[in-house]
Amino acid sequence: DGGITQSPKYLFRKEGQNVTLSCEQNLNHDAMYWYRQDPGQGLRLIYYSQIVNDFQKGDIAEGYSVSREKKESFPLTVTSAQKNPTAFYLCASLNSGGNNEQFFGPGTRLTVL
């Protein structure tokens, strides 16, 4: 079945550590996105990539980094510079030639201890 996978589902990190969240899609979609979700704030865009080896900052990129070495993979690193990293992180992908519908992964809940 085609879809988006995110791992792990739950992640715990000590303050001051970097951590990488995985996102993989087998939908052959060109574009991929990372969102952060906090209670009462909807989804906010962190980074996005429209093509391999290229990515752009979203609205809240500070303290995060990404790479897009392969079409199917778009990992997100939460660095120690991110002041308040505890949140639910969602990855999405989109077929650029389609109808603008983004498909979402199941999410990773990151908790900083």
Partner 1 sequence: AQSVTQLGSHVSVSEGALVLLRCNYSSSVPPYLFWYVQYPNQGLQLLLKYTSAATLVKGINGFEAEFKKSETSFHLTKPSAHMSDAAEYFCAVIPNQGGKLIFGQGTELSVKP
Binding residues for partner 1 (CB under 8 A): 4, 6, 33, 40-45, 48, 58, 88, 90, 92, 99-107, 109
Q: Are strands 31-37 and 54-57 parallel, antiparallel or unpaired?
A: unpaired
Report in angstroms how near the CB of residue 79 gets to partner 1 at its nearest: 23
The residue among 44 and 80 lying less far from partner 1, judged by its C-beta, is 44
Nearer to partner 1, 17 or 98 (CB): 98
Q: How far is the CB of 37 from partner 1 (least distance, A)?
A: 9
Closest by Cα among 18, 48, 34, 28 to 107: 34
Task: Identify which of residues 41 and 84 has a Cβ nearer to partner 1 in the complex.
Answer: 41
CB of 97 to partner 1, least distance (A): 11
Dump the DSSP string for 64-102: EEE--SBTTB--EEE-TT-S---EEEEEEEE-TTSSS-E
Q: Which two tokens stand for residue 89?
A: 């992180």
CB closer to partner 1 out of 76 and 90: 90
Structure tokens at 11: 């992640």
